[in-house]
Structure 1
Amino acid sequence: MELNLKDKTALITGASRGIGLEIARTLADEGARVVGGARTISTELRQTTPYTLSVDLATASGPAELVDYALGELGGIDILVNNLGFPYTRPKGFLSVDDDGWLEALNMNLLTTVRTTRAALPSIIERQGSIVNLGSTNAHVPVPVVVDYSAAKAALLNLGKSLAEEFGPQGVRVNTVAAGPVMTDAWTGPGGIADTLAAQTGIAKDDVIGQVPEILGSSTGRNTTAQEVAAVVAFLVARKAPNANGAEYIVDGGFLKAV
């Protein structure tokens, strides 16, 4: 399917690696002019787009700085993908997370999206563009090891629906793409979810990663790839389904069973 993204400008947060990098590559391959923001700009992102900015998006001013860069370089924003997020692992559960921990998780997984969206919306409204927020199946599933992350992603889902309700009449579409486990650094990196589960279960880390689909009851028997998530994002930001708004699209291999 031709997505007709040529000459569209797409701004992606957390674009240096993992799902964000795959979204950047996919939109660039479809002809979009991609602006990627991250604290550290990877070689892979530089190879994907000349429009990159090293910025700490977890600060109060970082998101607006990235939006200003995109507007200055390319004149406007048609697509915003709020990808930035991180699942802090809490192996000791709820009582181990103090106020600073909660604020850290909410800032990284909710307020970065709030701030970036607030800064980008005037341009997106003008161009009747599209916003996609990267959610998580943890918004629906209570998992103590990521209790604050799960709560933040549930709030993010509600935010997306609220934005769709308010700005839909102005031609702006806002949707959420929620992924199940994707084997990025959040899972496989040092101190990631796989390490936490390995410590809790006494199972080797590589075995934990291999058993994730079985443990979670995935109907496909495998983990979701970053490329699969990026493909759904690309479809949503294109104008092939212009009345898709305020919805959540789950890419999890059948992990969620609830109707």
Structure 2
Amino acid sequence: MDYQNELAGQVALVTGGTKGTGRAIAERLNSAGATVIVTARSHPESLADGIQFIPSDLSTKEGTSKVASEVLNRFGKIDILVNNLGGSDTPGGGFSVLTNEDWESTLQTNLLAPVRLDRAILPQMLERKSGVIIHIGSIQAKLPLHDSTLPYAAAKAGLVNYSKGLAKEVSPKGVRVLTVSPGWIMTAASKRMMERISESSNISVEAAEQTVMDALGGIPYGRPARPEEVAELVGFLVSPRAGYLTGTEYVIDGGTIPTI
């Protein structure tokens, strides 16, 4: 079925939208006819035709204010907000090696940045009684990996909880709020990590992938997700076809989480 123009006339903002899953989401919304703006700290090498870019550091209050005001001043509205920005660069070694700065920077990026951006964007959605907000979570909210990403897991758990509470508040006023929680995604960064593990451990790239899947407790589907698969789910959720869906977390992990 062709959904090429189902988002025509819609303005979409995708944070962290210049690479990886964020880029795939931006391209999916662009292909459906939306006017798409992406934001990140540094300018990408390339963008798909029609996608616009605003540089901004959303881990700061100033960065959030900048991107929100620029988009609203330029386009007059935001219909779709995809809070995709996230990640972790904390060291391995468990809780004892994590500093206050590790915790604070991770919480700023993965929890407080989307909270601030929602606060900046929601008023015009509520005024128009229309809009969709997607928070990109993680299965680590339910399946934390304590060795190196405990702050990230805690931040994503907070994001899922916040997203549910926000949905209960604003859904009666016309704004849908949803969470998409992926498992492991094979982005370009993940591919580079597999190559480093392969080289340092003197094993094949395929064996390196298996070690990561084993660390997650296994992926029944047998492989990580592709960015385009996550983007396709987001594309559906922001569309009119998903008009009755709000307040729900959608896990896309190939069956990684072993519980109901």
- TM-score when scaled to structure 2? 0.90
SS in 1 for 2:46: helix
Aligned length: 254
C-alpha spacing 1:193/1:131, structure 2 compared with 1 (3 Å):
farther
SS in 2 for 1:58: coil
C-alpha spacing 1:194/1:137, structure 2 compared with 1 (3 Å):
farther
The aligned residue for residue 107 of structure 1 is 108
Q: Are the counterparts in 2 of residues 195 and 205 from structure 1 also a CA contact under 8 Å?
A: no
Identity of aligned residues (%): 37
Report Cα offsets for 1:184-216 as digits up to 9, x if no partner. 255344xx59858997xx464833225434553
Work out whether 1:69 is the aligned partner of 2:78.
no
Report Cα offsets for 1:165-200 as digits up to 9, x if no partner. 1101101110000111012255344xx59858997x
Report the residue type matching 2:255 in the other structure: G
SS in 2 for 1:250: strand
The aligned residue for residue 245 of structure 2 is 244
Report Cα offsets for 1:111-144 as digits up to 9, x if no partner. 1101111101012223411000000000001211
Work out whether 1:125 is the aligned partner of 2:126.
yes
SS in 1 for 2:251: strand
After TM superposition, give the deviation of residue 236 of structure 1 in Å: 0.6
C-alpha spacing 1:48/1:116, structure 2 compared with 1 (3 Å):
farther
Listed as ranges, the gaps of 5+ residues in structure 1 are none
Q: Are the counterparts in 1 of residues 15 and 38 from structure 2 also a CA contact under 8 Å?
A: yes
C-alpha distance in 2, partners of 1:158/1:193?
A: 32
C-alpha distance in 2, partners of 1:256/1:198?
A: 29
Listed as ranges, the gaps of 5+ residues in structure 2 are none
1:136-175 correspondence to structure 2 within 5 Å: 136-144=138-146, 145-175=148-178
Q: CA RMSD in A?
A: 2.2
The aligned residue for residue 208 of structure 1 is 208
Work out whether 1:10 is the aligned partner of 2:12.
yes
Q: Are the counterparts in 1 of residues 132 and 176 from structure 2 also a CA contact under 8 Å?
A: yes
SS in 1 for 2:61: coil
C-alpha distance in 1, partners of 2:197/2:223?
A: 20
C-alpha spacing 1:123/1:253, structure 2 compared with 1 (3 Å):
same
C-alpha distance in 2, partners of 1:96/1:80?
A: 35
